[in-house]
């Protein structure tokens, strides 16, 4: 079965790398092969959830890890969402599916030293892309916004007089986040370079590619990984780790949980508590300083 339209969508619209697109294609082909062998069905547009469930059971029986199985199902789900968009199907057979449970892994934030070394390095060129990349990393770290929130920032979202930005979060919920002086200065410098771009195709978007188009998810990830690779040995180097670092560093320096919750755009404290995984030494300091039995 051909997936050309879907793979083109991943390449042209989602801007996924060739490696990622190949992984999607392999996952879909694997399911096609299973569906043909098990149910003698060649068109996976017509499958139901029980057939997908059979595939999951077979993957578990083959001792495939839950993480890998979830990734394969995610590929399939993306394909069905695409078919819904194009009108090829009316119902996504994975609508009610729940991901398999996986062991939670602790995502270590960057240290303050790693952040400072990266932002203070000479790796940023004196060019549009250099200033853009720097500002992307600085805003991610000094505001804690999500990658998609950063991508969707518009020039009119910057409130220069009050030194803050307006962010459109999940479920279209707006929030304002204060900007420190250095970030405000970085924005002004970047705008000067941005205004010199020719053929700007996305006039409102704050962050653009060198061709004048709105930036995309994969680009933000590549920028983060590129610059932090010189100063951090952590396995995970992503925009989310910068968000994690923002929250962790605020909490480590005395910010209260409710304030961090509001800055992150969380609706409940439970979501924010994920970022409270401070080091044992930090916890010991707080304990010694705060416990009533340890005073006097």
The whole-number pLDDT of residue 196 equals 94
Lowest-pLDDT range of 7-11, 57-61, 170-174, 192-196? 170-174
245 within some domain: yes
The whole-number pLDDT of residue 39 equals 92
Catalytic site residues? Answer: 146, 170, 240, 243, 266, 275
The whole-number pLDDT of residue 280 equals 42
- Tens of pLDDT along 257-266? 899 999 999 8
Q: What are the tokens at 211?
A: 């061709």
- Tens of pLDDT along 193-204? 999 999 899 999
Spatial CB neighbours of 255, under 8 Å, sequence gap ≥ 6: none
Phi, psi dihedral angles at 62 (to 5 degrees): -85, 10
The whole-number pLDDT of residue 17 equals 83
Q: What angle do CA 250, 159, 145 make, to 5 degrees?
A: 35
Q: How confident is the model at residue 102 (pLDDT cuts 50, 70, 90)?
A: confident
Pair (48, 158) in one structural domain: no
Query: Looking at the 3D structure of the chain, how many domains does it have?
Result: 2
Residue-range definition of the domain harbouring residue 230: 112-286
pTM of the model: 0.69
Count of H-run helices and E-run strands, the chain: 13, 3
293 within some domain: no
Pair (58, 161) in one structural domain: no
Pair (34, 133) in one structural domain: no
């Amino acid at each position: 079965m051909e997936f050309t339209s879907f793979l083109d969508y991943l390449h042209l619209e989602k801007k996924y790398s060739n490696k990622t697109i190949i992984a999607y294609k392999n996952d879909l082909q694997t399911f096609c092969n299973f569906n043909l062998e098990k149910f003698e069905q060649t068109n996976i547009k017509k499958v139901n959830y029980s057939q997908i469930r059979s595939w999951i059971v077979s993957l578990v029986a083959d001792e495939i890890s839950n993480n890998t199985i979830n990734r394969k199902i995610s590929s399939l789900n993306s394909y069905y969402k695409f078919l819904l968009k194009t009108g090829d199907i009316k119902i996504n057979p994975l609508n009610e599916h729940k991901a398999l449970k996986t062991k939670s892994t602790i995502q270590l934030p960057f240290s303050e030293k790693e952040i400072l070394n990266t932002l203070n390095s000479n790796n940023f060129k004196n060019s549009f892309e250099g200033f853009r990349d720097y500002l992307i990393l600085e805003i991610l770290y000094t505001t804690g916004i999500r990658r998609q929130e950063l991508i969707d920032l518009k020039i009119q979202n910057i409130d220069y007089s009050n030194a803050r930005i307006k962010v459109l979060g999940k479920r279209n919920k707006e929030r304002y986040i204060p900007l420190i002086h250095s970030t405000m200065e970085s924005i002004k410098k970047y705008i000067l370079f941005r205004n010199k771009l020719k053929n700007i195709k996305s006039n409102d978007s704050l962050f653009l590619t060198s061709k004048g188009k709105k930036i995309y998810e994969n680009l933000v990830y590549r920028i983060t990984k590129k610059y932090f690779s010189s100063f951090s040995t952590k396995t995970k180097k992503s925009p989310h780790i910068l968000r994690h670092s923002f929250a962790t560093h605020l909490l480590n320096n005395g910010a209260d949980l409710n304030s961090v919750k509001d800055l992150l755009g969380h609706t409940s404290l439970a979501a924010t508590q994920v970022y409270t995984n401070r080091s044992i030494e930090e916890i010991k300091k707080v304990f010694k300083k705060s416990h009533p039995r340890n005073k006097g």
